[in-house]
Amino acid sequence: MTTIQYRENSQSGRPQAEIIDERVSFDLEHFAEACGQSPEWVLQLLEYDILPSRPEERIHQFFGEDVSRARQAYRLQRDFNASFSAVAMMLDLIDELQNLRKEVKHLHLRQS
């Protein structure tokens, strides 16, 4: 299955979508722009381990797949008025649920 990442911009009152390649890397400023957030907000995602850890020399290197995770974090924060620590916990639970669903699906396929 292929996942297409994109970002939406609203220019001239019309929403536009831009496809983001998962293999392309962003620096902090461009990543924040792609997420529609400030660089300080992105740094909070790293501080609370909402985005995957990175080696120190690549701490400000982000990828297309990080955009969807950051947007998901923003939606949780916005919709539930959640703190960064609450968002981190919610995302961990969502990840665990997805992993368990994959495992159950795999087990069902093996038994068939």
Pull the structure tokens for residue 45: 């995602």
- Alpha-carbon distance of 50 to 89, in angstroms, equals 9
d(CA 78, CA 37): 12
**pLDDT, tens digit, for every residue of 8-39?**
554 455 555 555 566 678 999 999 999 999 99
- Where does 5-111 sit in CATH, by number? 1.10.1660.10
Using CB atoms within 10 A of its CB, is residue 42 exposed (0-12), middle (13-18) or buried (19+)?
buried
Question: CA torsion 25→27→31→34, rounded to 10°?
Answer: -80
> Which range has the worst mean pLDDT, 5-9, 55-59, 90-94?
5-9
Residue 112: pLDDT band (50, 70, 90) is confident
